[in-house]
A = this chain, B = another copy of it.
Amino acid sequence: MSRSKKGAFILKETNYHHGDLRNTLIENGIELINAEGIGGFSLRKVAARCGVSHAAPYSHFKDVQELLAAMADHVTTRFTDSLERSIEGDYVPQEAMNRLGTAYIAFFQHHPAYFPFLFFQSGITIRIDGDTEGEPPYPPFAVFRKTGIRLFRSQGLPESMDDKMLLAFWSLVHGVASLLSSSGIRYSGDWQEVWQTILQSGGNTHENDRA
């Protein structure tokens, strides 16, 4: 089953025994969280899904937290891509900001298990401060910043307010996402409708303009 010629069929990653166990673990781990929630996750289940022994992951991650962090990085990339796609096109700043919020909420509406995983279990660090030199910014927040700055400048908001206004907007969409991701919350209405109500009633985090 493992001839020497097999090297011709290698994937792009290292392929010693398994082929690409590291990425396989990350993908199966994410699938497991989607299937069973963060509470149903275990290192041994992921290993079993990948068809390897329970200790095999330790050749690629020093502990379960490191695997979770790699999974969170992967999900965060998908999340950021989803936000980026939502503002493709030539929207006016206000419209782009609204679409960003809609995409943010929709992402967690489609994957409720990602919310507690990303923000309470993954162990990843999210840097908001602009003053910590060298630290890479949190990609989803960077998308917010890019779009928000464009909006704020078009409205004459002083730059000193940028960070606080961005955090205010983020808090708003994050709050909707948080509530709809909470397992125990029962609401018969539509969260996107709540979000539309917010957009239409002055909760759009900038000064009271009347469009």
* Residues A179 and B170 in contact in the complex (CB < 8 Å), given A197-B164, A202-B207: yes
Chain B contacts for A19, CB-based, 8 A: none
Closest residue of chain B to A171 (Cβ to Cβ) is B175
Q: Of A40-48, A50-58, A81-89, A183-191, which binds chain B?
A: A183-191
How many interface residues does A have (CB within 8 Å)?
55
Partner of A171 from the list B115, B128, B164, B176 (CB cut-off 8 Å) is B176
Copies of the chain in the assembly? 2
In the bound complex, do residue A198 and residue B129 qualify as a contact, i.e. CB atoms below 8 Å apart? no
Q: A199 vs B125: C-alpha distance in the bound complex, in angstroms?
A: 28
Residues of B within 8 A of A23 (CB): none
- The verdict on A143 contacting chain B, using a C-beta distance below 8 Å, is no
Distance between Cα atoms of A189 and B115 in the complex (Å): 23
Inter-subunit contact A120/B194 (CB<8 Å): no
Whether the pair A186, B132 counts as a contact (CB closer than 8 A) is yes
Tell me if B186 and A126 are in contact (CB < 8 A).
yes
Q: Which residues of A contact B (CB under 8 A)?
A: 38-39, 115-116, 119-129, 131-132, 161, 163-165, 167-168, 170-179, 181-189, 193-194, 197-198, 201-208, 210
